[in-house]
């Protein structure tokens, strides 16, 4: 997917280490002592990056930690990771997340944040005591309970059981959370949840509360599907109808999860791929912390009309997706990693597939948002081939090794991949072992778009998403029909192939010829990038004047564009059904009209 990142989307989250340790105090040994030390990692004038390191300098295990400090007026945290950071005025509090609260003697953990202003932290407290280890930290919150197990599952109920949490003063009770919302408080270590909907997916976690009313971190999540036939897809049919939602869309595009509701698209899709997480240092990592889980939404921006609060543990797109799933329980959400810009980390990551898969599972199933995601999508562009960069080091079976490890780690959760549609002889489909890998995946998103575009600035003009070949096509094997046929020939079942639709057009300028095949002088102007424009703009600014190979094209003035319309999408869906494909997917929601014309065409076409 050729245009998936915007530098502006990263500005709030990426910071380069610069050293410069600013210790608030020096460590001191004590039986249960600990220290918290602040480091300013970067400074770009209007803001800075910071990191806190909590270290257990005592001889007994710490089960959770809370760091508090004060900033002078005008200095504040704008985004944070690996801790839940809140504030009351200029007083800031950071609590551990589920996976990093326990510190054995001598162990340490760090969390980071970006901030504005020029002030430095003061008045640091760690678990209520001094950050320099000279006083014993105060009463600690409980540990996380064990991940619940599910039993006695019926159409409308499920029994949950978990191992007890620990606390220095004793555990008083447990909160049971269903899909992130508290449904019960119990004193024992089991609970039966009733009144559920048959054939529906739920996710449960548990939190402990001690006698001082301190709440500890959430347990791991258990996913449960009640028995019986559920409501299924309100749009009808069993085919997958999947759209990509981009985290950077919340910036210049001003496109948010609520738009899926107001456009009517939410009731017509089955799956969402949330794009993107990054691949760095052999691991899956956060893509944009602010957009993903920190951005605060007002009531009018929120899916359920409820505003975010300063102290809630999860905000941003993740919380909005959680609310969307509560409103539309048929929707499944996958977290997509990689993409055109962030594919460069895959060759190193797949040198140790098992470790890579575990890192991805740990991130996707982080207790803060485990209930949001139903699986993972891997978007490596491209194994043993060239995309933004060229992969020259991976083994021929690297792709299948990666997918095998993902399946082993994710179990019954969804595991999918976005893959090339280059069906030319010796092309990108031939470069990797997509056939053997198919046994481990639920489906492939075949990227049947971006075949042609104004990166060839002088043309010839050609539809960027041709369904079939045609006389004069610039490159054989660059069309949807041949791509699908080649995957089938490699042993990929038809129902594991989704046809890709672009919700945008590709265009040239300096074109005098209306029919495809004309010469050009360069890319046509676009709102965000030259040579590309959203469907919602093109349908009015340059209406279609013809079709070629199942895709619309338009010649207006000296500009020539190709894009899909509701009519061509419908014809492609008919073709996909005739081929026995598993459904369709599209890149991406914000290119559609405010009333979801293209999503509606996919929905009505897959019946």
Residues designated as active site: 381
Q: From the CB of residue 122, how many other CB atoms can be counted at a distance below 10 Å?
A: 12
Angle between helical axes of 597-605 and 566-578 (0-180°, round to 10): 30
DSSP string computed for 105-147 = TT-EEEEEEEEESS---EEEEETTEETTSSS---PPPPPPPPP
DSSP-derived pairing of the beta strands 332-338 and 375-379: parallel
Write out the H or E segment, with its range, that includes residue 605. helix 597-605
Q: From the CB of residue 503, how many other CB atoms can be counted at a distance below 10 Å?
A: 24
**Secondary structure of 164-220 in the HEC alphabet?**
CCCCCCCEEEEEEEECCEEEEEECCCEEEECCCCCCCEEEEEEEEEECCCCECCCCC
Alpha carbon distance 71, 55 (integer Å): 22
- Residue appearing with tokens 């004590």: 30
Nearest Cα residue to 216 out of 164, 274, 159, 270: 164
DSSP-derived pairing of the beta strands 122-126 and 129-130: antiparallel
List, in order, residues 6 or more apart from 530 with CB less than 8 Å away.
454, 522, 523, 524
Tokens of 507: 């265009």
Alpha carbon distance 588, 335 (integer Å): 14
Nearest Cα residue to 445 out of 267, 201, 605, 272: 272
Cis preceding linkage at 382, omega within 30: yes
Coil/strand/helix, residue 97: coil
Alpha carbon distance 580, 276 (integer Å): 29
Tokens of 171: 């555990």
Alpha carbon distance 104, 57 (integer Å): 9
Write out the H or E segment, with its range, that includes residue 39. strand 34-43
Tokens of 590: 């914000």
Euclidean distance between the first and the last CA atom of the chain, given in angstroms as a whole number: 27
In DSSP terms, 173 is beta-bridged to 209
Q: How many CA atoms lie within 13 A of 232 on its CB side?
A: 9
């Amino acid at each position: 997917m050729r245009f998936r990142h915007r530098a502006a989307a990263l500005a709030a989250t990426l910071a380069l280490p610069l050293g410069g340790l600013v210790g608030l105090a020096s460590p001191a040994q004590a039986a249960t002592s600990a220290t918290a030390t602040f480091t300013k990692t970067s400074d770009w004038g209007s803001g800075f990056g910071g990191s806190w390191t909590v270290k257990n300098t005592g001889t007994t295990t710490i089960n959770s930690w809370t760091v508090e400090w004060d900033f002078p007026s005008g200095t504040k945290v704008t985004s944070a990771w690996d801790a839940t950071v809140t504030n009351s005025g200029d007083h800031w509090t950071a609590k551990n997340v589920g996976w990093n609260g326990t510190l054995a003697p001598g162990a340490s953990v760090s969390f980071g944040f970006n901030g504005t202003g020029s002030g430095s932290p003061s008045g640091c407290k760690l678990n209520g005591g001094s950050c320099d280890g000279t006083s014993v930290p105060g009463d600690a919150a409980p540990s996380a309970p064990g991940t619940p197990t599910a039993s006695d599952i019926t159409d409308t109920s499920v029994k949950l059981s978990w191992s007890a949490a620990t606390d220095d003063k004793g555990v008083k009770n447990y909160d049971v959370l269903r899909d992130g919302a508290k449904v019960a408080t119990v004193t024992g270590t089991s609970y039966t949840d009733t009144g559920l909907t048959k054939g529906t997916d739920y996710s449960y976690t548990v939190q402990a509360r001690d006698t001082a009313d301190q709440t500890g971190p959430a347990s791991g999540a258990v996913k449960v599907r009640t028995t019986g036939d559920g409501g299924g897809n309100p749009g009808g049919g069993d085919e997958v109808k999947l759209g990509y939602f981009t985290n950077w869309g919340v910036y210049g595009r001003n496109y948010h999860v609520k738009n899926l509701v107001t456009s009517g698209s939410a009731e017509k899709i089955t799956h969402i791929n949330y794009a993107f997480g990054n691949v760095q240092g052999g691991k899956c990592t956060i893509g944009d912390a602010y957009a993903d889980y920190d951005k605060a939404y007002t009531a009018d921006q929120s899916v359920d009309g409820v505003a975010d609060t300063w102290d809630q543990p999860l905000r941003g797109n993740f919380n909005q997706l959680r609310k969307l799933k509560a409103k539309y329980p048929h929707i499944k959400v996958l977290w997509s990693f990689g993409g055109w810009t962030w594919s460069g980390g895959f060759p190193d990551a797949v040198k140790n597939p098992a470790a890579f898969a575990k890192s991805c599972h740990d991130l996707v199933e982080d207790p803060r948002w485990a209930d949001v995601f139903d699986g993972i999508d891997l978007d490596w562009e491209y194994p043993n081939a060239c995309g933004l960069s060229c992969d020259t080091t991976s083994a021929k079976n690297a792709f299948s090794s990666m997918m095998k490890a993902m399946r082993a780690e994710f179990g019954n959760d969804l595991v999918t991949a976005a893959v090339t549609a280059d069906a030319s002889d010796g092309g990108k489909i031939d470069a990797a072992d997509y056939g053997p890998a198919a046994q481990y995946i639920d489906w492939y998103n075949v990227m049947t778009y971006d075949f042609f575009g104004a990166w060839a600035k002088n043309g010839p003009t050609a539809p960027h998403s041709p369904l079939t070949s045609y006389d004069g096509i610039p490159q054989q094997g660059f069309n949807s029909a041949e791509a699908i046929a080649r995957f089938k020939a490699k042993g990929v079942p038809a129902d594991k192939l989704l046809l890709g639709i672009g919700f945008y057009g590709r265009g040239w300028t300096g074109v005098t010829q209306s029919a495809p095949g004309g010469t050009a002088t360069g890319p046509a102007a676009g709102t965000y990038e030259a040579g590309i424009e959203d469907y919602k703009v093109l349908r009015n600014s340059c209406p279609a004047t013809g079709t070629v190979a199942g895709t619309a094209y338009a010649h207006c003035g000296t500009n020539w564009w190709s894009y899909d319309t509701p009519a061509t999408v419908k014809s492609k869906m008919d073709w996909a059904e005739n081929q026995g494909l598993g459904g369709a997917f599209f890149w991406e929601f914000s290119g559609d009209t405010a009333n979801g014309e293209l999503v509606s065409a996919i929905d009505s076409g897959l019946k």
